[in-house]
Amino acid sequence: MTARRVRNRMIVVGDRGRASSSGTGGRASVRAAAFEPPTRIIADRYELMDEIGDGGMGVVHRAFDHVTELHVAVKLVHAHLARDPAVRLRMKREARLHRKVNHPNVVHLFDAGETDDAGMFLVFELLAGPTLAACLTRTRRVPQSTVVSVGVQLLRGLEAIHATGIVHRDVKPENVIALGAGDSMDVAGVVKLLDFGIARPIESTRQRDIAAITQLGTTVGTPAYMAPEQVLGLPRQDERTDIYSVGVLLYEMLSQHLPHPTVRNDGGFGHLFERAAVPIRQYAPDVDPGLARIIHTALERMPECRFESAMQFRQRLESWRAGELAARTSRPSGRPTFDPGRTTERGMKSVRARSSV
């Protein structure tokens, strides 16, 4: 049996030159081929394989790139959404913004385009790892060292994103891949940030276009991880908007709670703008006070009270990590040491006895 590929589909052709034991010849092969599931080829190069993810915007497939001979991840936008002009504008914007970023802690976008049936697709590097959300369902409490490592890597990725003039606006556990993380999150592995679906330029004068892109539902983003200015839809959303989201993520990793428990993802914002975050040590008393202060700085309700940049936030985390490491290495090992100032009476008697011999 042979296969002839055409754009976006594969036609299976029976091999009529091979006889079958039933004596029906090629007709049996043709009938058998009719029951084989068709293989879809996107853009004459991406052969779709198994489905590996499904979300509100589309389905993600593992695929094989016949040009580079690499396995990739292809995101196909749901057909009913692909016909919406606002969605099409949003997807084109996502591809345009994402292509500006090239960093080890940000998933790489290889390609984007349209299918013959007016569908839309994005092609990413294929990542063999769970989301941070999946990791958090497997462990009760993540070690502080792992939390800081995740934070440092995310902030490095955000530094690269912000350097291109983009604010991500959707930093949350579901959009973070943890490669090589242990089942108990005792190690962070390599962390990668994905999904630029609601990203936007930090300074944009095209507010009408932004409104068209983001008005796909009553709330854009995930409220539990959104900064107050994002929830309110204020025009000034910058690096500090993402800093707030990273603060929520790290808070949750350390405590298994959200800093504002009354905030719900269905639009109930509770006292988000009236009260400060619940002190993290109220949920997790063993969290180092210095680390707690760093996270609560990121969670300040007013943007001007947070860290000014992802770099500043990262440097504070790295300084805490260095200090914690120095403190651990300087602690006594538990082996008793001789202290002349604390010589016991029994020891002195032994010294005097030896000296009199």
| Per-residue model confidence (pLDDT) at position 347 | 46
> In the 8-state DSSP scheme, what is residue 37?
P
Which of the four CATH numbers 3.30.200.20, 3.30.930.10, 1.10.287.130, 3.40.50.300 does domain 2-125 have? 3.30.200.20
Taking phi first (over 0 means left), then psi (-120 to 50 degrees means alpha), and beta for anything else, what does residue 256 get? left
Q: How far apart are CA 54 and CA 62, in angstroms?
A: 12
Is residue 238 exposed (0-12), middle (13-18) or buried (19+ Cβ within 10 Å)? middle
3-state secondary structure of 73: strand
Which of the four CATH numbers 1.50.10.20, 1.10.760.10, 3.30.230.10, 1.10.510.10 does domain 132-327 have? 1.10.510.10
Q: How far apart are CA 82 and CA 116, in angstroms?
A: 12
pLDDT (tens place) for every residue of the chain, 357 residues total: 444 343 443 333 333 333 333 344 444 444 444 444 557 899 999 999 999 888 778 899 999 999 999 999 999 998 888 888 888 888 888 888 899 999 999 999 999 999 888 789 999 999 988 889 988 888 878 999 999 999 999 999 999 999 999 999 999 999 999 987 665 666 668 999 998 888 888 865 334 444 444 444 344 678 889 998 888 888 889 999 999 999 999 999 999 999 987 665 555 555 556 678 999 999 999 999 999 999 999 999 999 999 999 999 999 999 999 998 788 776 665 544 434 344 444 444 544 554 454
Domain limits, CATH 3.30.200.20, in the chain: 2-125
| 178 CB-near residues (< 8 Å, 6+ apart) | 129, 130, 131, 132, 135, 150, 185, 188, 189, 190, 191
242 among known catalytic residues? no
| Stretch (H or E) spanning 48 | strand 46-54
Set 65, 111, 170, 195: catalytic member: 170
Domain limits, CATH 1.10.510.10, in the chain: 132-327
Amino acid at 124: F
Q: Which of 142, 245, 144 is nearest to 193 (CA)?
A: 245
Is residue 250 exposed (0-12), middle (13-18) or buried (19+ Cβ within 10 Å)? buried
Sign (positive/negative) of CA torsion 257, 261, 267, 272? negative
Cβ–Cβ < 8 Å for 127, 176: no
